[in-house]
Homo-oligomer: A and B are copies of this chain.
Amino acid sequence: MKVLILGGDGYLGWPTAMHFSRRGHEVAVVDNYLRRRLCQELDVTPLCDVPSLHQRSRLWRETSGDEIPVHVFDLCDWKPTAELFRDFQPDAVVHYAEQPSGPYSMIDQRAARLTIENNLVSTLNVAHAVRAHCPQCHVVKLGTMGEYGTPNVDIEEGWIEIEHKGRKDKFLFPRQAGSLYHTTKIMDTDLLWFYVRVWGLRVTDLMQGPVYGITTEENAEDPRLLPIFNYDAVFGTVLNRFAVQAVCGYPLTIYGKGGQIRGYLNIRDTLASVRLAVENPAAPGEHRIFNQFTETFSVQDLAERVERVGKAMGLDVRREAIANPRVEADEHYYNPVHRGLVELGLEPHLLTDDVVAGIVETVQRYRDRIDERLMLPTVQWR
């Protein structure tokens, strides 16, 4: 299949591109290097140096023999976006091209505006480009479990039937998010669901939990193909940050009570989930939603696990509670369904101690590059 990866430079975008390429799909990537620019602005450096997309594409050709054409432009620009969809004629488009950080979106008005405009206009342009140039193309959009927040009821996979005063109807599951970024993802979902109803687009929305890990089948042999891996308090996800803190002897920073429960998944399972969604497309006029995670943990669960594994590896690991910079419940009910991707064939890589040790070992190779200034939260929600 012809698969267009939007946001192909990111933590998940580049691994996804290689994953599809290795499995015989024809892949092209688009990115405008927004993530790299925002990291420069905030003076935060990823764990390892990452070659440019053009360089990585050449490395991939040397390694695999396969081509991944690279397009560097802003998907908020309508003209190049429309032209690429017209010329490439993708069977599926995987949309990662969003500003993905909750803390970033809470810095100030400018960061909030960038997040809203980038995330909504890129999604709008995808819908319009598909409609104009390849109406059968399947849109696979990365959403987030954060859209649901932490309601006091079980979280279904995207949809819920509501009975009210003796009548029934089916609706998008209620959503209320914990950051401006996560709120833009709610808006994305509403935007695509509107165009699904009106134009009959085919959409799969993957409500993803925080991802951990760095190594995939495609980069295990060549560290130059590792993804952008942030461990700072703005762009890093929690388990990745804990692994880096364990390696450099910085206390694991737990926000508040650490009772925040989320659904997590291994980066390998992100790639498999996205591939399963692409290879089993939604029908025309279908807005299919999967909850994309494999296990739930509290922040304390994760910290305890990293502490135990780290100590067994001879590292000096401690946990430290710090004031929560976010506005969120740090003790709450959480019971989300996650059946759809397993039914499509997902075989989870669960978070064993070996998996934690593997992440820690990879991070240890970059010990000298760890910047301890990046560990504490710099953005306050209030």
Residues of A within 8 A of B (CB): 78, 82, 108-110, 112-113, 116-117, 120-121, 124-125, 128, 151-154, 160, 162-165, 167-169, 171-172, 174-177, 180, 183, 186-187, 190-191, 193-194, 197-199, 327, 333, 381-382
Copies of this chain present:
2
A20–B28 alpha-carbon span in the complex (Å): 57
- CB contacts (< 8 Å) of A162 on chain B: these are 153, 160, 162, 174
How many whole Å from A110's CB to the nearest CB in chain B? 7
- What separation, in Å, do the CA atoms of A172 and B130 have in the docked complex? 31
Select one of B109, B152, B160 contacting A78, CB under 8 A.
B109
- State in angstroms the CA–CA spacing of A151 and B121 once bound together: 28
28 CB contacts below 8 A, A to B, read A109-B125, A109-B128, A113-B121, A117-B121, A120-B120, A151-B169, A152-B168, A153-B162, A153-B168, A153-B169, A154-B164, A154-B165, A154-B167, A162-B162, A171-B174, A171-B176, A172-B176, A175-B190, A176-B197, A177-B194, A183-B194, A186-B190, A187-B187, A187-B190, A197-B327, A198-B381, A198-B382, A199-B382
> CA A223 – CA B78 in complex, angstroms?
43
Q: How far is the CB of A116 from chain B (nearest CB, A)?
A: 5
Closest-CB distance, A92 to chain B (whole angstroms): 21
- Interface pair A174/B177, CB less than 8 Å apart: no
> Is A183 in contact with B176, judged by CB distance below 8 angstroms?
no
Which of A116, A177, A327, A382: most chain B CB closer than 10 A?
A: A116
CB neighbours (8 Å) of A198 from chain B are 327, 381-382
Residues on B with beta carbons closer than 8 Å to the beta carbon of A152: 167-169
Closest chain-B Cβ to A65's Cβ sits at a distance in Å of 38
Known contacts A180-B194, A183-B191, A381-B198: A128-B153 contact under CB 8 Å = no
Asked if A153 and B160 make an inter-chain contact with CB atoms under 8 angstroms apart, the answer reads no
A30 to chain B, nearest CB (A): 17
In the complex, what distance in Å separates the CA atom of A110 from the CA atom of B171? 29
